[in-house]
């Protein structure tokens, strides 16, 4: 369950980590993801979800992925229903508390067609962090005693050699691929993230390959003017894709809030017959459009303007 | 759920928010979940606890929520308005582990006699009737700090033993929590629309501490799936004031969380 | 060597962590440091050294402190020679590579009058990090096999239960007091640090008490306009002291570079007779001036202007 | 130290910087110490390796050093000019542990037959003749990545066994390094003002790989406190070019590190 240190180092050693341009299209970036890969998603719940990349992977017909994320929202429904995702590893999975329990998540997990593997939220964070640090585990003080731990077998307990206290050791998570959406990065992959960071500093450092989608590509000169704002270093990154509104209908801090109306209608559409509802949604929004702009068109210009107005209001202070 | 005092002029959710908000003290640091906890903490901050610091799991320290713009979870930009600091989720949860948090404050779907919470599975976890959304930060919060839980008082939610311990209370009671390795924190209060409940110091069994206006001990017991202990003196809570309700409604004008 | 978890939590529980003003003078802040305390210093080598607070502690006659820092420069000499510091825990201790090996450090350590306890640099960082995370140790993969480990007894080796690999476990370091100098913070202690962060995010989180010195105090409103720039949260902080040029003659990123001429003359003065030289320096610069402004006056206005001009040149890009 | 070729038009330090800079390859990520390593890496970046990324322990990724403004250590703002990213020291050192660094590049005070470095104590560590400044990042760099060391070739610096292993080379030789838990990295090259030295694959003993202009094998052996192995073919290095020296002097006009 934890890769050997030499294997992990070997994977990094074989990557081209030089300062080079790596701008490409969503379709080209898809080639960095293979069926069966463990794909970690940046963002959390409705925030900075790498939606455009998920959209492209579903369109490309990727299968049997294990997907991990801090908290999973509608993208989890779509990964399950499209067949792209076979297993989701996370601390919480539903559309969002205001929409009740996801009927699609229930449909797929209760029938055993897909797996939802539950860890505590801090365990998810510390698993990525151990992966990012190059150690096989992190010690922590929660999850012990609970059935969350009880249903998993890939952790260990230890008695601390310093204090004699009982500790939970959670295994490092080193995803095959990380998908992270950011406000801006340069063509080399130096990324600056505004607002909430979630687990998006540890995830790219833990992963073997990293695909960044970004609201806009800025020059390397601009990055170098404020190097203390860079959150992801270029040498961890393998692909940079410029995708405006790349998290829609979720939010991107400072730029747009969630498209609430769209999310309400998604919840409504998947309520009565979750499977048919989500399939229709995929046909219309994922397989129908010829490109991302057409997808955004389906979400509606007025809704885009409304989400943007709300999103930018964060700068009013 | 039935409103315990029809005609009282407030909903059960509003009662919950007011009663749990009153348990928070000025100067405390409160790790608040979305929904009732967020509303209750904001209410406390505006009324009796101006120096209360709210933490959100998504990475926010000390925000001020804007009336009418409640966030859909603790992980969106609405949570960050006028915050003192934003940090990563992992580092936010580590504040619980480091001991910086006075109170963890969550909602609950199912609770048992020892305060264990279930938000993962209804029925046999191997073949569940209902797969619920899961732990989120619940397990970490309940493992690492003193907990207040706000939930509706129904027999199917107050069960002798939860189907699955997502967020640990006192586990099997007695010393079993600390024996499992959870040496800090623990369940402090459960606030419902009927009563405020605590836990017996030795057995760690749930106990009625005080009753909301117009509620009887029998009524609480009837809505509970196990036998409740009773505090030596049972208190009577003050009904929500007009001021409390007004502030609450200012924050949630659309009744997103207080319908 | 590692405190029990309940003791650590008890210390935090007893602190007033509310959002309150805590602005005070250097002299008042000294009262938060007791003889014999473990005092961790922020910054590194010549950067953001909490010099004003060290100056105040030496003037106040504090004794027998254990002092830890990532890398120790001239402040270590002064702590030893004044009698304030009895033991220094760090990865590297000398004035700086361009000035050769510190004669004062040599004088005090070689005669056994003071102790220089050496850890690897990453070990120092991970010890603070473990302390900040509330766990008793961090696993790591260096220091094994070396005499750096061999001369210490407060670490453990373990065989990883996941991979079978050998790992070094370094003990958490939870200092009694942390001294950190920042570019700006509000009266509550919300601090924003520009440029290099060193170990100054983990150190205050690991410590039991925190004294911030700051180039300037800004309003809480200003902090709240850019909360993603806050690096130290107010509730970890016990004292805020406004001290312009609070790191002089060391540097503060973006404001002033080191006073190189002064550091050259310090090196010269402590070369032939280190003990007499450093004592004279202490008398003149530490015990002589009636306040911090007078100390700065001794360093010279022209030197201050020169250090500032060089310091601000970082913003020319 | 004696300049091996007086009248050659360059100092021993300049020779060191040029020779070690040549070992760096385009596209590599190099963790560089202050002094000769910083100069050599900057030289390589300006000449044959424009895509070389320099990391400084103080928390800098990919800076460009401004000619004439060499930093006094790797921890001041001069190190950060036009950097791609700044991060904490701990996270910078963790890049070594995660495996992101191709080459660690340091100076050395004392080295032994198996490439172990001492920068802590001269004499018995319990009662040292000289207390040196210590490890800094040296122990971590040497433990976690492939090392290039640049140092002056003197008998008192090249000893059979160092007084204290600050930064591990191959420890006692053979498999002893990996047996100690250090399963990655190891000493790659030692560059001196006389020669370039490597290590035998099996015994992990130091070996002469190539000689600088005008230097003999005997001269190298005479300046070494233990018996050196010899590579099957001993190379001859090209002398520093005028271009290399010019760039070097542009960066260190005051001869801070190349006197």
Residue-wise pLDDT tens digits, C213-272: 999 999 999 999 999 999 999 999 999 999 999 999 999 999 999 999 999 999 999 999
Whole-angstrom Cα distance, residue A274 to residue A280? 10
Confidence class for position D1, pLDDT limits 50, 70, 90:
very low
Q: Which residue does chain B place closest to C190, by CA atoms?
A: B84
Whole-angstrom Cα distance, residue D106 to residue D148? 7
Percent of chain C with pLDDT over 90: 98
First vs last Cα of chain B: how many Å apart?
12
If asked whether residues A165 and A80 sit together in one domain, one would say no
Supply the pLDDT for residue B5: 53
Average pLDDT over residues D75-91: 95
User: Which of A296-310, D60-74, D233-247 is the least confident region?
Assistant: D60-74
Each residue of D92-103: b (16+ CB within 10 Å) or e?
A: bbbbbbbbbbbb
* Owner of token pair 């005080």: B210
Q: Which residues from chain A sit within 8 angstroms of residue D83, using beta carbons?
A: 224, 227
Q: Which residues from chain B sit within 8 angstroms of residue C224, using beta carbons?
A: 82-84
Of these residues, B14, B57, B154, B201, which one is catalytic? Answer: B57
Residue C48: domain span: 2-122+174-316
Question: Is residue B227 annotated as a catalytic residue, yes or no?
Answer: no
In this model, does residue A41 exceed pLDDT 50?
yes
CB pairs under 8 A between A and B: 193
Whole-angstrom Cα distance, residue B213 to residue D249? 85
Contact flag B164-A147 (C-beta cutoff 8 Å):
yes
Distance from CA of C167 to the nearest CA of D (A): 7
In this model, does residue D6 exceed pLDDT 60?
no
Distance from CA of D91 to the nearest CA of A (A): 8
In this model, does residue A71 exceed pLDDT 90?
yes
Per residue in B149-196, pLDDT (tens digit) is: 999 999 999 999 999 999 999 999 999 999 999 999 999 999 999 999
Q: Which residue does chain A place closest to B132, by CA atoms?
A: A101
Catalytic site residues of D?
A: 57
Q: Is residue A258 part of a domain?
A: yes
Average pLDDT over residues C266-280: 97
Whole-angstrom Cα distance, residue C237 to residue A86? 47
Per residue in B229-252, pLDDT (tens digit) is: 999 999 999 999 999 999 999 988
Q: Is residue A132 part of a domain?
A: no
Distance from CA of D241 to the nearest CA of C (A): 27
In this model, does residue B17 exceed pLDDT 70?
yes
In this model, does residue D134 exceed pLDDT 50?
yes
Cis peptide bond N-terminal to B32, omega within 30: no
Shortest CA distance to D142 belongs to which of C119, C69, A136, C144? C144
Average pLDDT over residues A169-179: 98
If asked whether residues A227 and A252 sit together in one domain, one would say yes
Contact flag A190-D84 (C-beta cutoff 8 Å):
yes
If asked whether residues C71 and C215 sit together in one domain, one would say yes
Compute the mean pLDDT over every residue in chain B, rounded to the nearest whole number: 94
Q: Is residue C132 part of a domain?
A: no
Supply the pLDDT for residue C115: 97
Domain edge (last residue) among C131, C154, C171: C171
* Contact with chain A for residue C141, Cβ under 8 A: yes
In this model, does residue C54 exceed pLDDT 70?
yes
pTM above 0.95, yes or no: yes
The minimal CB distance from A2 to the residues C141, C158, C162 is found for: C162
- Chain D residues at the A interface, defined by Cβ less than 8 Å, are 26-29, 51, 53, 60-62, 80, 82-87, 94, 97-100, 102, 183-184
Asked whether the ipTM of the predicted complex exceeds the cut of 0.85, the reply is yes
Question: Which stretches does DSSP call E strand in chain B?
Answer: 29-32, 53-56, 60-61, 85-86, 103-107, 110-112, 117-118, 121-122, 130-131, 146-150, 158-159, 186-191, 195-199, 206-211, 229-236
Q: How many CA atoms lie within 13 A of C118 on its CB side?
A: 30
Q: Is residue C130 part of a domain?
A: no
If asked whether residues C153 and C252 sit together in one domain, one would say no
Confidence class for position D7, pLDDT limits 50, 70, 90:
low
In this model, does residue D140 exceed pLDDT 50?
yes
If asked whether residues A155 and A180 sit together in one domain, one would say no
Supply the pLDDT for residue D107: 93
Supply the pLDDT for residue B7: 61
If asked whether residues A157 and A234 sit together in one domain, one would say no
If asked whether residues C21 and C148 sit together in one domain, one would say no
C: neighbours with 3+ CB pairs under 8 Å?
Answer: A, B, D
Question: For C87-90, which contacts have Cβ atoms below 8 Å and span 24 or more sequence positions?
Answer: C87/C114, C87/C115, C87/C116, C87/C117, C88/C114, C88/C115, C88/C116, C88/C117, C89/C117, C89/C119, C89/C124, C89/C173, C90/C116, C90/C117, C90/C118, C90/C119, C90/C124, C90/D134
Compute the mean pLDDT over every residue in chain C, rounded to the nearest whole number: 97
Confidence class for position C299, pLDDT limits 50, 70, 90:
very high
If asked whether residues C190 and C298 sit together in one domain, one would say yes
Supply the pLDDT for residue B65: 82
Contact flag B99-C9 (C-beta cutoff 8 Å):
yes
Confidence class for position D102, pLDDT limits 50, 70, 90:
very high
Contact flag A2-C169 (C-beta cutoff 8 Å):
no
Whole-angstrom Cα distance, residue C308 to residue B184? 49
A: neighbours with 3+ CB pairs under 8 Å?
Answer: B, C, D
CA angle A234, A235, A240 (to 5 degrees): 50
Contact flag D140-C129 (C-beta cutoff 8 Å):
no
* C-alpha distance from residue A18 to each of A21, A144, A212, C288 (Å): 9, 43, 17, 54
Residues sharing a CB contact under 8 Å with residue A86, sequence separation 6 or more, in sequence order: A63, A64, A65, A66, A114, A115
Q: Give the total number of structural domains in chain C.
A: 2
- CATH assignment of D12-251? 3.40.1080.10
Interface present between D and B (3 or more CB pairs within 8 Å): no
Q: Is residue C267 part of a domain?
A: yes
Supply the pLDDT for residue A316: 85
Q: Which residues from chain C sit within 8 angstroms of residue B102, using beta carbons?
A: 13, 17
Distance from CA of A189 to the nearest CA of C (A): 20
Q: Which residues from chain C sit within 8 angstroms of residue D129, using beta carbons?
A: 110
C5 with A141: CB under 8 angstroms? yes
The minimal CB distance from A45 to the residues B73, B132, B134 is found for: B73
D179: tokens are 């047996």
Contact flag B85-C12 (C-beta cutoff 8 Å):
no
Q: Is residue C187 part of a domain?
A: yes
B: neighbours with 3+ CB pairs under 8 Å?
Answer: A, C
If asked whether residues A182 and A56 sit together in one domain, one would say yes
If asked whether residues C178 and C280 sit together in one domain, one would say yes
If asked whether residues A36 and A58 sit together in one domain, one would say yes
CB pairs under 8 A between A and D: 72
The minimal CB distance from C139 to the residues A1, A137, A165 is found for: A137
């Amino acid at each position: 369950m934890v890769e050997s240190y030499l294997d992990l180092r070997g994977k990094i050693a074989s990557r081209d980590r030089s300062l080079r341009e790596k701008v490409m299209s969503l379709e080209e970036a898809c080639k960095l993801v293979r069926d069966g890969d463990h794909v970690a998603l940046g963002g959390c719940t409705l925030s900075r979800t790498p939606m455009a990349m998920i959209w492209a992977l579903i369109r490309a017909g990727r299968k049997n992925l294990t997907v991990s994320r801090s908290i999973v929202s509608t993208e989890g429904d779509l990964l399950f229903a499209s067949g792209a995702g076979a297993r989701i590893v996370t601390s919480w999975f539903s559309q969002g508390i205001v929409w009740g329990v996801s009927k699609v998540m229930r449909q797929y997990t209760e029938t055993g067609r897909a797996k939802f593997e539950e860890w505590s939220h801090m365990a998810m964070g510390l698993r990525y962090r151990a992966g990012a640090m190059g150690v096989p585990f992190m010690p922590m003080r929660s999850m012990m005693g609970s059935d969350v731990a009880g249903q998993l077998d890939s952790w260990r307990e230890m008695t601390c050699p310093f204090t004699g206290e009982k500790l939970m050791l959670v295994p490092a998570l080193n995803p095959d691929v990380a998908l992270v959406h950011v406000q801006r990065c340069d063509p080399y992959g130096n990324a600056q993230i505004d607002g909430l960071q979630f687990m998006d500093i540890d995830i790219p450092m833990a992963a073997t390959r990293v695909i960044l989608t970004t609201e806009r590509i800025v020059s390397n000169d601009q990055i170098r003017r404020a190097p203390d704002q860079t959150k992801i270093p270029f040498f961890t990154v393998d692909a940079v894709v410029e995708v405006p509104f790349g998290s829609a209908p979720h939010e991107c801090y400072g730029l747009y809030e969630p498209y609430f109306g769209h999310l309400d209608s998604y919840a409504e559409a998947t309520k009565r017959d979750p499977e048919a509802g989500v399939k229709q949604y995929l046909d219309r929004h994922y397989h129908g459009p010829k490109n991302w702009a057409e997808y955004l068109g389906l979400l509606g210009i007025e809704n885009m303007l409304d989400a943007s107005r709300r999103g930018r209001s964060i700068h009013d202070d | 759920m039935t409103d315990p005092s029809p005609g009282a002029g407030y909903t059960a959710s509003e009662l919950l928010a007011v009663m749990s908000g009153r348990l928070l003290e000025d100067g405390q640091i409160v790790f608040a979940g979305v929904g009732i906890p967020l509303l209750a903490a904001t209410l406390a901050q505006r009324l009796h606890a101006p120096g209360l610091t709210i933490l959100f799991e998504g990475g926010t320290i000390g925000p001020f929520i804007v009336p009418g713009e409640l966030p859909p979870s603790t992980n969106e930009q609405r949570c960050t308005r006028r915050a003192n600091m934003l940090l990563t989720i992992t580092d936010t949860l580590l504040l619980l582990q480091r001991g910086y948090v006075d109170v963890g404050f969550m909602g609950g779907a199912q609770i048992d006699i020892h305060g264990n919470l279930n938000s993962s599975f209804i029925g046999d976890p191997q073949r569940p009737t209902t797969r619920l959304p899961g732990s989120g930060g619940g397990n970490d919060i309940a493992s690492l700090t003193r907990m207040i839980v706000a939930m509706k008082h129904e027999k199917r939610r107050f069960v002798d033993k939860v189907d699955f311990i997502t967020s640990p209370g006192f586990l099997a009671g007695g010393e079993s929590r600390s024996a499992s390795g959870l040496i800090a924190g623990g369940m402090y209060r459960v606030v419902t629309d009927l009563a405020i409940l605590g836990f017996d110091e030795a057995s760690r069994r749930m106990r009625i501490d005080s009753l909301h206006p117009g509620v009887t001990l029998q009524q609480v017991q009837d809505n509970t799936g196990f036998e409740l202990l009773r505090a030596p003196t049972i208190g009577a809570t003050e009904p929500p004031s007009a001021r409390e309700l007004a502030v609450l409604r200012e924050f949630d004008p659309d009744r997103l969380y207080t319908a």
